[in-house]
Chain A
């Protein structure tokens, strides 16, 4: 800004860094330089100055690095990925051995719960639930390109369908899964039909509002949902066998009595884990296959160019609606497992906007459309915070930093998007 074109590069760098430092000082001064104390306030001038100085040094170092050839190469490599798209076309036969890896992972996933403690079982179940939610939102945001900031609404609807259903109509765990899926999809359809004619920002705001409305209704409709006290869902069961010490429902017998083993509190979580694992695998299969089917292709085409889609005779509203409903359905299924994992107890505090943001982070980090990426991101983003309990306070900060770096470095996610290769015979 203050620099002239013929300044020596060092001076330019210094001036630029000073400017950045000044901006940092302006921003940090009110935030960290003034601390409220009763009705007055204390000033801490040294804090913002120090922060601004750190920013200045950082910027100056970056500028100096940019002057050296190796620094330039480094920046080229890590910062500016604008030239590269992060999309590539598969080559025929490059996934020939994929099924071996998948089979190993599948068996490992099946065996895993028997070696986990109860605490890590609940973490693993939660991670798989987020895989489901990530897959669901991935359809809406990653494939169809519809920014949905209220995805948690469908998650809540799923959880509450199970809880309220079992409270009022004696709904069981197994019947709750399809019912919650159908109900969430129906709600998604009802919301979507009028809303999906909107674009980008408008849609984001409407969905954000919808997420909050659902939470507020659950919180305030005391007589039906139990309000902040929450609702209690039935114990999960398998062919009438329950996983509790004594049966909670008439006609059911506890699992350990039936098999004549001793009671273990883990059994129930192993059971939930296995069910959610199988459902997640099914969904992964379903969605990866869908990507190469007309419906999935239409979603992606819609994300690429809606006007072109309309010119090709595709009804953009119904295509968006199908994506929205499919995503909602998956969110609803996730909700049922969440209610089961929570020991059957759900309350509205689990369904805040932060949850929507977390699921969106999973989709963005996973790479907007990549099934594998979303699965990995979901596992990492749920398991890592549990492992790093000591840093729990910084979780959101770390998410934020991670997101900023992702956007700069790999805006299309960790894994590049793979496009199918076609021969005249079919997909290779």
Chain B
């Protein structure tokens, strides 16, 4: 690599834009793959559950997380709801 290339490359020594491309792709592709196996109703389901919980408790927007997994013969839908600390509720 010439001196000019060295100065131009974003990550400094030995790191051309290709390595940035690879890192971004790895994250993006993993994200795409996880998303494409999920049923499309999940985001709405998540919003509605959040709305129901909020009727009873004050929770953050990200209090409900939905995790979906597909195994050979069955699917697992995992809901995780984080309620606020009892003290802060008081």
Binding partners A and B = no
